[in-house]
Each structure stands twice: as structure tokens, then as C-alpha cells.
Structure 1
Amino acid sequence: MKDEPLNKTLIVIAGPTASGKTAAAIQLAQYYNTVIVSADSRQFFREMSIGTAKPTETELAAAPHYFINSHSITEPFSVGDFERQCMQLLHELFKKHDIVILVGGSGLYIKAITEGFDELPTADPDIRDRLNTELAANGIATLQERLKQVDPAYYAEVDINNPQRVIRALEVYEATGNPISSYRKSTVNKRPFNIIKFGLDMPREKLYDRINQRVDIMVKDGLVEEVAALTPYRSYNALNTVGYSELFNYFDGKTDVSTAIAAIKQNTRRFAKRQLTWFRKDKEIIWMDAMDEKLVDNMIADIDKLII
């Protein structure tokens, strides 16, 4: 017996930070009269707004959004939690919509929804505590180098400036003797909907200019003050991220504010490069010119041809 045809479609809009994903997603959502689900691992958190480049109030009002301001930094929230909660949400959304849009730059979170994961080994608290102690004493560079040696595949894709991700990978390796990349599925979970993936790209120099300008706007909008207010919560994993870590160094007296802002720009550019490395390995992604004035029209034409 043949599988039943799928009559629901998830449109994925992926790409590096500052590539225009939000604007494209809103236009598509308005055209198809549907909703947007965020797969940005930093925009979940209510307390982090300026430094995560969340959609503005105007943008949020232009189309219904989910997984924006949905959790607190004080709540543990893993990619596995996201997969479970988002799949439940999609089940409900597809009762009302034939098309739903998933948008974000977090490749691991998009993979969780489009493919799923094997269950990773349970964390060993002793190993985690030891690695966190080493992080506090020596910084992240030593841990990054160790990860590069034991799991070069994961090192090439993960945000190596995120201590939580680096420590989790080393924790899995030390507990099992196997790299975390070995726990990826060789076959994907079958999803009860069609999936069409778009990737937004632009010339590297233009992308870097946009990133630099975005950081300047964040600072003007109060990024330094936002991070200052979050200093009491800096031990939470959600805040171990670009845009926040650099300013914590400033508040610790390790650098001046202009140097911290320059570091945010540099680390964001590096992060964008890693995002592109991740997404370019996905052969299902249809790459689009983010600078094309007819970008959304071209996406709609492709969607209408591909929808079953």
C-alpha cells in the first residue's frame, strides 16, 4: 500500500544572521495567510531582546509568531525540548493551515524539526562539573581545541564560542568514547508534512557590512544597558552567546566598551560564516539571492511548483 499523499507543507527559511530572513518570512506569511515559527535558539528567551535581533513589535504584529519570547533564560530548554514542543505545535497549526513557515539561523534547531535526532546519552553530572571548572579556570580555548581533536565533524559545524555546546559534546565523548556527531541519524525521521527549504545568501562583504550596521543599531537601541541588567543571570547558559559574553567582559573590567563592541561585530561575522558552512551541507536547500528585489516572488513561484 502506498503512503498517503501529504497535503501540508513546512516552508523553511534559513540563512546567516542579518540576511533578511524575518522580512521574507513575514511577506510569505501574509501571502499564504499563515503563521511563522521561529527556529532561532536565542529568540526564545523573553529577557534577551536587543542582542538577539528579535523581530520588532511592528514585525510581530504583521504575522502571528511562535517561539518568540516563549521561555525564560532561567528555564532549561534544549534542542530536544524544542523538537518535542515544536512538533506538537505544528500538529495543531496544520489543523488550521496548509502551509506553515519555519524561520531561523540555528541549523541544529531546524534539523531537529526537519529530520529529528537520535537520543543522546544522559548527562554525567561529574563530567559536566569538571569541564565547567576547567572552563572557569582556563577559558574556552582549551576545550575548543580538545573538541577539534576528538570530533572534527562537530567542531566544524557547532558554534564553538558557545560553552554549553562545547561542554555537552565533550561530555558525550568522555562518557561514551564516541563523538557526539556519531549520534546523528543516518536516516531521517519521516515527518507528516512536506518540507521545502530556502537559504538566503548574499556577497560576503555585503553581509558583513549589514552585521556591523546591525550591531551599531543594537548599541544605539540600548544593548549595553540590556546586558548590564542581565548581569545577575550571567551564569545561565542562554547568556553564553555572542553579544552578551563580550559585554560581560567589559563589565568585569577586562576590556573597554569600544573593544567589546568591536568583538561583538567580529564574533557575529564568524558566527555567520559558520551558519553558512552548516547550511551549505544541506543539499535540499534552494539557495536564493537575498538582495534580489523579487526574492519573495521567486520563492512563491518555487513553492507553487513544488507543493504536492
Structure 2
Amino acid sequence: MSSKKLPLLIISGATATGKTSTSLHLAKKYQHLSPVIINVDSLLFYRELNIGTAKPSQQERDEIEHRLIDNRSINNPLNAADFTTLALKELEQCFENQRFPILVGGSGFYLRALVKGMYDSVDVSEEIKNDAEELFEREGIKPFIEFLNLNDPIRIKTLHENDHYRIKRAYEHFKMTGKPTSQAGDQFAGGDPYDFSQHRLDNWNILHLYMELPRDEHAQIIKDRTEQMLTSGFVEETKTLLNNGFTGQEKPMQSIGYKEILMMLNGELEQKDLQERIEGSTRKLAKQQRTFFAKIRPKHSLHPLKDKVKIDQLVSDWMSEGDQ
């Protein structure tokens, strides 16, 4: 086995920015390196969620090997620590077999956990957990967000308002330690949690391509994709999950799209407003993702279509440098 560093490509970006098509294009171009696409999208882990996650098609997965897709049930959610353990094993296998891994996805927190490590989580007392759960049952997520806006504003800006789990964890962390989770950054590889030039993946030479679209173009793509999902049977998929015994309270089913459909099925949202509500939630998520990825460096910000030639050249030059 070679002792030199091998190429590790990261393709990141907000939802609906062309990451999948870019990854498939590059994987096919470097087919001779036995590429493996490793998923870094937190919803693609779940085998029951398909239409609402824009999962790569079976044909695309047959053409290029994909890992960490359909590897969990929504009854058994995967957190960032679980993902990191699995992804490190995938990278280890790629290194042993001299294969070319491509990390693809928009879950920035998961990507950072893999590349930089995670801050040491604290053991939260049962009393604090119970108090938090009672507060959530009484008043929902709003008081948690307000608390973090005052006490951990850096962390809350990286979280989507629907990410109840991480919002509550950040709240519990502060209640337990008296310190914000954002102050735990010095425990990341190299100190700065957003500096990917100092990382813990010692065997790998990393190139980070960040897919970015103008806001108006991105909004139109989100609109078109939402419409396509709904005409492809998104509501029917959600109904089938309920008919198969899932409650709708499973954490992955509280994600964008599924949550709004459940609201409609429960009479909390008019059918005529469904598409617009999903689009709005998706645009909010995309804004949160852009905010997170804006802090990560180094990276090359690129349009997935207009910069296709530039993407090819960047990867080619990077590959050539690694061969020297």
C-alpha cells in the first residue's frame, strides 16, 4: 500500500445546487481510479425516504458505487457521531484499496464532524433533560431558539429552526456547563472549526468544490424540484409510510417536505398552500446552509453548469499535483 496521500474530493453546497450531477460527471471521468461516492446528506441515509430527499436514482447508483445511502431506517436515526464513525471506515477502505472517494452532500455539520472532528459532548443530567423536554412539550421550540439567541448566538445561526434535536442539545449543553457549544471550537483539529486546511484526515489530499447558484436561479430550481416531487408521488409516499406503521413523529419525518405534508394530512395546512410552504421551508434551509458553508475555507465556489470547464480543470490540475 502506498504511503503517499491519496485524493479526496469534497462536493458541497446548499440543497438543489447540482451536487449530484457534478459528482457523477467527475466520477465517470475518473472511472479508472475506482471512484466511490460517499453520501454526506443526512436524509439519504434512510431507506424509507425517497421522493422527498432527491435521492440519486437506482440507475445512477448502478453506474457509480454510492455508500451511506439507504443504510438506516427512520426508526433508527443517524447522528453526526454515528455518521463520522461510518464515513471514517469507508475512507479507510478506500485508502486500503487505493480508490478515489468523493464526499457529496449539503449537511455541513456532518461534513465538518468528519473532516475536523467534533467538540467533546458533555453528559447532561437527567434533571436538565427532563426540564428541557417539559419546556418543549409546553411551548415548542421557540423558547429554546430565544435562549440560544441570547446565550449562544454563533451556534444558533448554524442551525435550521426545524432541527429541534440540535437546538435542544445546544440548550442542554449551556444549562449543564454554563458555556456555549460554540466555545468548544478549540477542540476541533487545528483549532478553527471552519478551517479545512487543518484537518484530521491524514491520509488524504483534499480538494473542496462548493456549488453555488445566484439566488433567483436557485429559487426557481427549488420551485421546479418541489413541483416535480409532488407530481411524482411525494404525498402518496408519506401516506404509505403512515399506513406502514410509522407515526410521523420520527425525527427524519420531521424534515422539510414530509413535515408540511403531515401538516396537510392532519388538517393544519391547506392542500393549495402545500407547494408554496415546502418551497419557503427549502429556501430557508438553503439560506442556513449557505451561511454555514460561507465560513468554511479553503474552497472553490463554482456554478455547477456555467463553470463545468473550470471544475474539470481544477480537478485535473489537483490530480496532477498529487502525482508529482
TM-score (norm: length of structure 2) = 0.88
Rounded to whole Å, the distance in 2 between the matches of 1:136 and 1:261 is 28
Q: Distance in 2 between matches of 1:280 and 1:164?
A: 23
Aligned match of 1:262: 276
Does residue 24 in structure 1 map to residue 26 in structure 2?
no
Give unpaired runs (5+ residues) of structure 1: none
The change in CA–CA distance for 1:223 and 1:126 in structure 2 (over 3 A counts) is farther
Please say if residues 163 and 240 of structure 1, whose CA atoms lie closer than 8 Å, have aligned partners that are also in contact.
no
CA distance in 2, matches of 1:259, 1:133: 32
Distance 2:161 2:259 in 1: 13
Deviates more, 1:232-241 or 1:55-64: 232-241
Alignment-derived partner of residue 235 in structure 1: 249
Counterpart residue number, 1:303: 318
* C-alpha deviation, 1:296, in angstroms: 4.2
Write the mapping of 1:246-257 to structure 2, written as runs, cut at 5 A.
246-257=260-271
Residues 1:190 and 2:194 are matched in the alignment: no
281, 294, 301: which one aligns with 2:309: 294
Per-residue CA shift, 1:189-246, capped at 9, x if unaligned?
A: 5222111111011111001100111111111111112222334332222222111211
Q: Percent same amino acid at aligned positions?
A: 29
Give, as a single letter, the amino acid of the residue that structure 1 aligns with 2:237.
E
Task: Provide the residue aligned with 2:193 in structure 1.
Answer: none
Match of 2:144, as an amino acid? L
Q: SS state of the match for residue 103, structure 1?
A: strand
Q: Deviation digits for residues 135-185 of structure 1, max 9, x if unmatched?
A: 333232222222211111011112222111211111111111111222233
Which amino acid is the alignment partner of residue 31 of structure 1? K
RMSD of aligned alpha carbons: 2.0
Query: Which residue does the alignment assign to 2:96?
Result: 95
Matched to 1:15, the amino acid is G
2:226 aligns with one of 207, 215, 228: 215
Structure 2 unmatched runs, 5+: 191-198
Q: Is the 8 A contact 2:160 2:285 kept in 1?
A: yes
Q: CA deviation at 1:123?
A: 4.1
What is the identity, as a one-letter code, of the residue corresponding to 2:189? T
Tell me how many residue pairs correspond in the alignment: 305
Provide closer, same or farther for how the CA distance between residues 127 and 261 of structure 1 changes in structure 2, counting only shifts above 3 A: farther
1:127, CA displacement in angstroms? 2.8
> After the TM superposition, which of the residue ranges 26-35 and 117-126 deviates more from structure 2?
117-126
Runs of 4+ in 1 over 4 A off after TM superposition: none
Whether the 8 Å CA contact 1:6–1:194 is kept in 2: the answer is: no
The amino acid that maps onto 1:26 is: L
